[in-house]
Amino acid sequence: MNVRVAPAPSSILDQDWSKVLRWGLICGGALIAICLVGMPVEMDRRILVERYLSLGYLSVLCIPVLVGWVASTQVVLEGVEARKQGLFDLVTGFVVGAIGGGCLALLMVALDSWNLRDPLVNWSPKLLRFLTYENGMGFGAVAWIVTGAVLGLAGASFRVMPRAVRRFTTFVLFGLISLSILESVIDDLSEGFRLEWLDEFMYAKKGGLTLTSVIVIGAVIGVLSLVADGRMKAATERYRNLEGVERQKTSIVLFVVVAVLCIVLPMFLGKIVNELLANVGLFLLLALGLNIVVGLAGLLDLGYVAFFAVGGYTTAVLTSPNSPWFAPELHFGFALIFVVIFATITGLVIGAPVIRMRGDYLAIVTLGFGEIIRLLFMSDWLGPYFGGAQGVTNIPGVDLGFATVKGTDPRSVFYLVLFFCAIAIYVSWRLQASRLGRAWMAIREDEQVAEAMGINTVSSKLMAFVVGAVLASFSGAVLAAKVGSVFPTSFMILVSIIILVVVIVGGMGNIAGVMVGSFVLIGVLGGPKQPGLLQEFQNFKLLIYGLLLVFMMLKRPEGLVPSARRSRELHQEEFLQDAWLQDDKLDSDDEVSVSDGGGEEQ
Amino acid sequence: MSLLEIRDLKVTFGGLDALSGLNFHVDEGEIVSVIGPNGAGKTTFFNAISGLVPPTEGEIEFEGESIVGLDPSIVTSLGIARTFQNVRLFPNMTVLENVMVAQHCRTTQLLVGALLQTKAFKKEEREIRERAEEVLGFFGHRLIGYRMDQPAFALSYANRRRLEIARAMATQPRMLLLDEPVAGMNPIETIELTEMIGRLRTEWGFTIVVIEHDMKVVRDVSDRVVVLDHGVPIAQGSYDEVSTDPDVIEAYLGRPVEAAS
């Protein structure tokens, strides 16, 4: 077969101008949108590199780079060899970036001449000052066009660079950005390990990396990336190819390392980071439970927060002396038994009527039930028992004999959460490879056939509901002990949605994926009420959640860390193609044996 | 007494009688073919037996007990397994899992066993797996080996049909309902499967009801043939009797022109 080569453009100006314009306007639109949302100004306070870069500027600057990179994508058709990318694509990126910058310049002019503050809250002189670098209109306009063009060019240049250079640059950039974002964590860590000099060297007093440390750290990361090139992959490959006892041994070693890290590391961490980890753990616990319901059994439950609330309120009523109606002041451990019982009952009560519905109907009905539970706790009717809007306060910590777990000591909370997460992970892992887990998968695939194959779908689905409910109620119980109070407002519908986003973005049906999802979303961006690492994102959290969800659904529906099954499901065609190429030999086998069988028959 | 006894079965969808007053019986160890033109009610007949479609009227008895109105899962656990005309596997589960999950109604372990990894749980898992491999082994090398761990959607069309039969076998039924088992297979595969249907009776002891359009298959496998048209049986008997029956020929080919006028 002769390979055709994609036609090369005759000159670097022989661009597909309509495409370039389109991407330029997309870039400009994104820039204007982000400015008017108020993100840059708000986040300008967070300094990433001392005197040079704030999170606000980063949020604006990354857009032309990304769009430049996307715009210079080459469409490669099957059987046509790709054209070698070069100057031509750089020009594309350059022009796209310049158009984007130009849009921003226009925004500046508009900001200066009209006052649209009324509908657009962020239409402010502050934004103008931010955009002009406080250097006047003319300078600002030119500067943005030039910056946009240069950044667009930079984005496109990622396509042109040789692989090693590209790897080097991406690693350095990502490393530096994550280090500057992780400032508080590293502060904390270096304090715990008595390495204050490292901290002082890396970060300026007012926050942000210093210029010297940027250069030094950048170099270190770059060298590391070159050294590590291919080794990580080789190591995972080696691990995958291990079999039997060897594999078991390695898995055990890995498990022990992770477990020791989880137990030892928090001892060196300060309050802020431990608090963060505890929050991540709480949501991880919820997400693991929801993963069983949605990921394994395929029941889209949008009212999952109901079980979280039941866990929280049960613990509150049973342990708090301030419980308005019935205050037995039980120990947390005893209360937990009742938490499991009530979660099971709620799971059955909510599950029984909705379980016969499918897909969207189930989602909507559970959404309703989630709200009903919250409103019941808030209602006048149950107010005397659960405190209504005032909630239940003064919930004691967990007295373990040798230590007390309470909100003021986030490290202990983290350990408690870790314990429950370990249970949840174990449960998910064991159930996946069991009779019940297989039944759930079958129901997810085709409910009617599952039924015809002898699976009692009603009881299996109820079981999934109950297991999910119990895990969520554990999370609620820990939350109650951690915060010391529960209010109906802690159990808004938003919690359900955020957990679902965590599961989807992380990777549905995959335990590791759910973990990554909770770290990235809850840890970095923050939960519904809990701040994350980037506290400056607080106001834009939901916007970013939404954007992330849309992006993931379009580009990577299997999630950040997909389960093998799900990515096969979503990329069936590619998988089939591979299988077909592998299968050539086997099909010929088929023919031989079939004609054997046929021989006698005829 | 026959294994399956159906009396005056009637299934109505809205105003349409898919089956109207069907009488039917299958004896232990028989292979019965059900044939008829498209829309004759053959698949509805299977759906009614397996509990997917509730009959409007009539009685279905399996081993002397009425199974009308029971859930499909209970019907399966009583010993009636089926395949589907438009192959309905669990596409994203592996070949092995497809067959393992079908043993659900023959096994008992629930949460506690799986979580504590009890001896009974491990033993049962091992047995499920062994049985699954045994059932898949019936189809030779086609479904065992590396294919066991492939998702079902990656199988070739013929293999999907085979896997569906394997899945039905794994429920440990007494009676198998096969809905067009050779549809879409090439002639060689068809011949092979025909022979296997025979072996399903002799080696596994299943009583079998087959819906089939391929007359060669019907001739080769069946002890008895039942012809349905418009929801009523129009002929019954051996293949030779049925294939020469004027009513059957009319149902398939239409009435001769001179008679119609």
A143: Cα separation from own chain's centroid: 35
| Nearest CB neighbour to A455, from listed B73, B125, B142 | B73
Both A278 and A373 in a single domain? yes
| Nearest CB neighbour to A446, from listed B90, B104, B107 | B90
Q: What is the pLDDT of residues A580-597, one digit of tens each?
A: 666 554 444 444 343 333
Both B69 and B112 in a single domain? no
> A444 to chain B: nearest residue by CA?
B90
- Reading the block at residue B13, the tokens are 């969808």
Of the residues B171, B205, B226, the one at which a domain ends: B171
Tell me what pLDDT residue B257 has: 66
Q: Looking at the predicted structure, is the pLDDT value of residue A233 above 90?
A: no
Q: Do B104 and A457 touch (CB under 8 A)?
A: no
Both A155 and A183 in a single domain? no
Mean pLDDT of the region A511-520: 91
Q: Is residue B124 domain-resident? A: yes
Q: Is residue B84 domain-resident? A: no
Tell me what pLDDT residue A315 has: 94
Q: Looking at the predicted structure, is the pLDDT value of residue A85 above 90?
A: no
Count of domains observed in chain A: 3
Q: Is residue A572 domain-resident? A: no
- Reading the block at residue B193, the tokens are 């499967």
Q: Do B154 and A455 touch (CB under 8 A)?
A: no
Tell me what pLDDT residue A588 has: 44
Domain limits for position B156: 89-171
| Nearest CB neighbour to A436, from listed B110, B167, B188 | B110
Q: Do B192 and A579 touch (CB under 8 A)?
A: no
DSSP sequence for A165-199? HHHHHHHHHHHHHHHHHTHHHHHHHHHHTT-HHHH
Lowest-confidence region among A232-246, A286-300, A334-348, B208-222:
A232-246
| Nearest CB neighbour to B76, from listed A437, A453, A579 | A453
Of the residues B125, B141, B171, the one at which a domain ends: B171
| CA-based R_g, chain B, Å | 20
Q: Is residue A550 domain-resident? A: no
Both A169 and A150 in a single domain? no
Q: Looking at the predicted structure, is the pLDDT value of residue A490 above 50?
A: yes
> Is B161 part of the contact surface with chain A (CB cutoff 8 Å)?
no
Q: Is residue A399 domain-resident? A: yes
Both B72 and B38 in a single domain? yes
Give buried/exposed letters for A342-360 (b at 16+ CB in 10 A, else e).
bbbebbeebbeebbeeeee
Q: What is the pLDDT of residues A375-397, one digit of tens each?
A: 999 998 988 888 888 889 888 88
| Residues A377 and A314: beta-carbon distance below 8 Å | no
Both A337 and A348 in a single domain? yes
Both A219 and A299 in a single domain? no
Q: Is residue A191 domain-resident? A: yes
CATH of residue B49's domain is 3.40.50.300
Arithmetic mean of pLDDT over chain B? 89
Mean pLDDT of the region A111-122: 84
Residue type, A538: Q
Beta-carbon contacts of B123 under 8 Å, excluding residues fewer than 6 positions away, are none
DSSP sequence for A278-296? HHHHHHHHHHHHHIIIIII
| Nearest CB neighbour to A601, from listed B153, B154, B191 | B191
Burial (CB < 10 A; 0-12, 13-18, 19+), residue B56, is middle
- The answer for B 104-143 residues in CB contact with A (under 8 A) is 104-107, 109-111, 113-115, 117, 121, 124-125, 128, 140-142
**Which of A356, A423, A456, A594 has the most B C-beta neighbours within 10 Å, making it the best mutation to test the interface with B?**
A594
User: Which positions in chain B touch A586 (Cβ < 8 Å)?
Assistant: 147
Beta-carbon contacts of A184 under 8 Å, excluding residues fewer than 6 positions away, are A272, A273, A533
Both B148 and B205 in a single domain? no
| Residues A283 and A514: beta-carbon distance below 8 Å | no
What number is the ipTM of this complex?
A: 0.92
Both A52 and A151 in a single domain? yes
Tell me what pLDDT residue A496 has: 93
Number of cross-chain residue pairs from A and B with Cβ atoms under 8 Å apart: 136
Q: What is the pLDDT of residues A155-204, one digit of tens each?
A: 999 888 888 888 888 889 988 888 888 888 888 888 888 888 888 888 88
Q: Is residue B25 domain-resident? A: yes
Mean pLDDT of the region B252-261: 64
Both A192 and A82 in a single domain? no
Which one is predicted more confidently, A281 or A124? A281
Q: Are strands B16-26 and B57-62 parallel, antiparallel or unpaired?
A: unpaired
Of the residues B153, B171, B189, the one at which a domain ends: B171
Q: Is residue A512 domain-resident? A: no
Q: Is residue A239 domain-resident? A: no
Tell me what pLDDT residue A580 has: 66
Of the residues A472, A495, A518, the one at which a domain ends: A495
Find the DSSP H helices in A114-162: 125-131, 137-160
Tell me what pLDDT residue B71 has: 92
Residue B20 dihedral angles phi and psi, to the nearest 5°: -130, 105
Mean pLDDT of the region A38-66: 86
Tell me what pLDDT residue A596 has: 39
Both B144 and B223 in a single domain? no
Q: Do A454 and B52 touch (CB under 8 A)?
A: no
Mean pLDDT of the region A134-148: 86
Q: Do A454 and B90 touch (CB under 8 A)?
A: no
CA–CA separation, A449 vs B158, rounded Å? 19
Both B115 and B104 in a single domain? yes
Tell me what pLDDT residue A579 has: 65
Mean pLDDT of the region A4-29: 83
Mean pLDDT of the region A452-473: 94
Q: Is residue B204 domain-resident? A: yes
Both A144 and A172 in a single domain? no
**Which of B50, B165, B191 has the most A C-beta neighbours within 10 Å, making it the best mutation to test the interface with A?**
B191
Strand (E) or helix (H) holding B5: strand B4-13
> Is A569 part of the contact surface with chain B (CB cutoff 8 Å)?
yes
Arithmetic mean of pLDDT over chain A? 85
CA–CA separation, B234 vs A178, rounded Å? 77
Q: Do A434 and B113 touch (CB under 8 A)?
A: yes
Q: Is residue A109 domain-resident? A: yes
Q: Is residue B28 domain-resident? A: yes
Mean pLDDT of the region B179-201: 91
Both A340 and A308 in a single domain? yes
Domain limits for position A53: 13-160
A389: Cα separation from own chain's centroid: 32
| Nearest CB neighbour to A451, from listed B72, B92, B171 | B72
Both B121 and B225 in a single domain? no
Tell me what pLDDT residue A601 has: 35
Q: Is residue B49 domain-resident? A: yes
Tell me what pLDDT residue A117 has: 83
Tell me what pLDDT residue B2 has: 86
Of the residues A478, A495, A512, the one at which a domain ends: A495
- Reading the block at residue A177, the tokens are 């950005």
Both A199 and A136 in a single domain? no
Both B74 and B188 in a single domain? yes
Q: Do B109 and A435 touch (CB under 8 A)?
A: yes
Tell me what pLDDT residue A122 has: 84
Q: Do A435 and B167 touch (CB under 8 A)?
A: no
**Rounded to two decimals, what is the model's pTM?**
0.86
Per cent of chain B over pLDDT 70 is: 97
Count of domains observed in chain B: 2
> Is B43 part of the contact surface with chain A (CB cutoff 8 Å)?
no
Long-range Cβ contacts of A116-122 (<8 Å, 24+ apart): A120/A36, A121/A38, A122/A35, A122/A36, A122/A37, A122/A38, A122/A41
Residue type, A474: F
Q: Do A579 and B115 touch (CB under 8 A)?
A: no
Both A144 and A175 in a single domain? no
| Residues B43 and B211: beta-carbon distance below 8 Å | yes
Q: pLDDT confidence of A301, banded at 50, 70, 90?
A: very high
Lowest-confidence region among A486-500, A537-551, B195-209:
A537-551
How far is the alpha carbon of A73 from chain B, nearest alpha carbon, in Å?
A: 31
Q: Do A430 and B93 touch (CB under 8 A)?
A: no
> A579 to chain B: nearest residue by CA?
B154
| Nearest CB neighbour to A579, from listed B81, B142, B154 | B154
Q: Do A431 and B114 touch (CB under 8 A)?
A: yes
How far is the alpha carbon of A338 from chain B, nearest alpha carbon, in Å?
A: 19
Q: pLDDT confidence of A344, banded at 50, 70, 90?
A: very high
Q: Looking at the predicted structure, is the pLDDT value of residue B144 above 60?
A: yes
Q: Is residue A312 domain-resident? A: yes
Q: Are strands B65-66 and B57-62 parallel, antiparallel or unpaired?
A: antiparallel
> B167 to chain A: nearest residue by CA?
A453
| Nearest CB neighbour to B195, from listed A445, A566, A597 | A597
> Is B250 part of the contact surface with chain A (CB cutoff 8 Å)?
no
Tell me how many degrees the CA angle A177-A179-A180 measures, rounded to the nearest 5.
65
| Residues A9 and A85: beta-carbon distance below 8 Å | no
Both A172 and A153 in a single domain? no
Per cent of chain B over pLDDT 90 is: 58
Tell me what pLDDT residue B249 has: 84
Of the residues A495, A525, A547, the one at which a domain ends: A495
Q: Looking at the predicted structure, is the pLDDT value of residue A468 above 60?
A: yes
Residue type, A71: A
Q: pLDDT confidence of A471, banded at 50, 70, 90?
A: very high
Q: Looking at the predicted structure, is the pLDDT value of residue A1 above 80?
A: no
User: Which positions in chain A touch B93 (Cβ < 8 Å)?
Assistant: 438, 441-442, 445, 565
